[in-house]
């Protein structure tokens, strides 16, 4: 079968093999005889692939999937030139705000859940990708993986406007986080598409997940995997995504879909899976983890500069108060960017370089 690939966070991870990300990416391109980002036609559909271009040079988590400004500009130009063609987009990580399930203890904590998750430059900020999909209604499907999760969750697909965002699972048994081995199949025609799950635990059996006709002649059909569904249960270790298409009030009203929200202005805090997680108030996406572990019986409060209870933008810090109601177990101050999330993962490549330097120093000393 012919194939075309996109790069993910592990494709540029060869520390010993290449000195730079550029050399690693060039070798990848030579090996697979293709460019890292691409556009192709299939019937009357346009297919677009976006790829990460760095690992060693990442200022934050080396596992962040990063699409650079040049590639992003090419993406917008390509969409502008094909406005009448139904388009399928492929990227290793999903766009922020797409509403797909995430993993707080891994990707959210390390700030590598979304495309360009750690970027603050507005030209390549993580919110840009969902914005591009929203203003290009020809984008009908956006596929991503990264989380190693199956399709047996209600939020393994999420439709916002014209675009259905699609979680893509894994085939290998050792790569699946929930033991279910899935991939995707699309059957498309000029009039629409049918999206299937291929169940590799069941000999490649097909399950229709989404059916869509572009002219609206039939309502879109989404068939949740009711019999096989894995529950949206924080105690099971998976975070339940918020519906990105039903935004909370952005003029000051906090979201009310989950209990115990703390409104901080541009973000909201809630406890999920025993961690304090910060959500973006606009995209409904988790930005990062503020406190990794909150003891049972503890509570969280916002305070001002004098340590008094505060609300919204007036809060300068968040405190975790112990079960006794008096002891402050942890305090996290608002960062310069106005957020509370913390960075927990040291860049793996920089850590490796440091270890190599220490190893050389020990050899010289010996």
**Which residue has better confidence, 309 or 242?**
309
pLDDT at 236 over 80: no
Gyration radius from the chain CA atoms: 22
**Which residue has better confidence, 103 or 78?**
78
State the pLDDT at residue 246: 46
Q: What CA–CA distance (Å, rounded) separates 351 from 100?
A: 31
Most confident of 164-173, 251-260, 352-361: 164-173
What does the block give as tokens for 280? Answer: 């973006």
Burial class of residue 58 in the structure, from the number of CB atoms within 10 Å of its CB (0-12 exposed, 13-18 middle, 19+ buried): buried
The torsion of the CA quartet 135, 137, 141, 145, rounded to 10 degrees, works out to 0
What does the block give as tokens for 92? Answer: 């290793």
365: Cα within 13 Å, side-chain hemisphere: 6
Mean pLDDT value of segment 298-323? 93
Mean pLDDT value of segment 190-199? 96
Give the three-class secondary structure for 114. coil
Give the three-class secondary structure for 116. coil
Mean pLDDT value of segment 349-357? 82
Q: What CA–CA distance (Å, rounded) separates 202 from 180?
A: 10
Strand partners, 351: none
Each residue's pLDDT tens digit, 153-181: 888 999 999 999 999 999 998 999 988 99
Strand order in the sheet with 317-321: 299-303, 317-321, 328-333
pTM of the model: 0.89
Residue in this structure with the two tokens 């009357």, named with its chain if needed: 44
Q: Report how far Cα 282 is from the mean position of its chain's Cα atoms.
A: 15
Mean pLDDT score across all residues of the chain: 88
Q: Are 288 and 332 in contact (CB under 8 A)?
A: no
**Which residue has better confidence, 241 or 293?**
293
Q: Report how far Cα 166 is from the mean position of its chain's Cα atoms.
A: 12
Q: Are 298 and 318 in contact (CB under 8 A)?
A: no
State the pLDDT at residue 253: 32
Each residue's pLDDT tens digit, 11-22: 999 888 899 999
Q: What CA–CA distance (Å, rounded) separates 191 from 193?
A: 7
State the pLDDT at residue 254: 35
State the pLDDT at residue 10: 93
203 φ, ψ (degrees, to nearest 5): 70, 25
Domain coordinates of the chain in residue numbers?
21-236, 248-282+285-366
What does the block give as tokens for 350? Answer: 């920089």
Q: Report how far Cα 240 is from the mean position of its chain's Cα atoms.
A: 13
pLDDT at 255 over 50: no
- Assigned superfamily of 21-236: GpdQ, beta-strand dimerisation domain (3.30.750.180)
Q: What CA–CA distance (Å, rounded) separates 39 from 198?
A: 25
Mean pLDDT value of segment 225-230? 62
State the pLDDT at residue 359: 85
- Helical segments of the chain, H only: 21-32, 69-81, 128-134, 348-365
Handedness of CA 10, 15, 19, 24 (dihedral sign): negative
Q: What CA–CA distance (Å, rounded) separates 349 from 352?
A: 5
pLDDT at 344 over 60: yes
């Amino acid at each position: 079968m012919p194939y075309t690939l996109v790069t993910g966070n592990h494709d540029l991870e060869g520390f010993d093999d290449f000195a730079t990300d550029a050399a690693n990416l060039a070798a990848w391109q030579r090996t697979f005889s293709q460019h890292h980002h691409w556009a192709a036609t299939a019937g009357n559909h346009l297919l677009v692939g976006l790829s990460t271009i760095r690992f060693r040079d990442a200022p934050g988590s080396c596992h962040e999937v990063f699409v650079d400004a040049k590639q992003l500009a090419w993406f917008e130009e390509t969409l502008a030139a094909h406005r009448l063609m139904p388009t399928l987009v492929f990227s290793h990580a999903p766009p922020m705000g797409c509403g797909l399930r995430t993993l707080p203890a891994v990707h959210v904590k390390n700030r590598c859940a979304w495309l360009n998750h750690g970027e603050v430059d507005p030209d390549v900020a993580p919110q840009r990708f969902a914005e591009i999909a929203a203003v290009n209604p020809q984008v009908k499907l956006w596929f991503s993986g990264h989380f190693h999760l199956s399709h047996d969750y209600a939020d393994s697909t999420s439709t916002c406007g014209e675009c259905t965002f699609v979680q893509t699972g894994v085939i290998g048994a050792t790569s699946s986080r929930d033991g279910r081995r899935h991939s995707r199949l699309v059957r498309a025609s000029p009039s629409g598409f049918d999206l299937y799950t291929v169940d590799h635990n069941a000999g490649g059996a097909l399950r229709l997940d989404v059916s869509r006709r572009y002219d609206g002649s039939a309502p879109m059909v989404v068939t949740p995997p009711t019999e096989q569904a894995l529950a949206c249960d924080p105690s099971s270790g998976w975070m339940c995504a918020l519906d990105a298409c039903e935004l909370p009030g952005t003029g000051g009203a906090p979201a009310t879909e989950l209990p115990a929200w703390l409104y901080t202005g541009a973000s909201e805090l809630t406890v999920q899976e025993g961690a304090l997680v910060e959500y973006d108030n606009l995209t409904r996406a988790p930005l990062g983890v503020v406190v990794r572990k909150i003891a049972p019986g503890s509570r969280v409060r916002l305070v001002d500069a004098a340590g008094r209870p505060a609300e919204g933008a007036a809060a300068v810090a968040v405190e975790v108060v112990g079960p006794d109601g008096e002891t402050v177990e942890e305090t996290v101050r608002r960062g310069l960017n106005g957020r509370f999330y913390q960075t927990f993962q040291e860049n793996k490549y920089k850590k490796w370089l440091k270890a190599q330097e220490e190893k050389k120093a020990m050899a010289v000393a010996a």
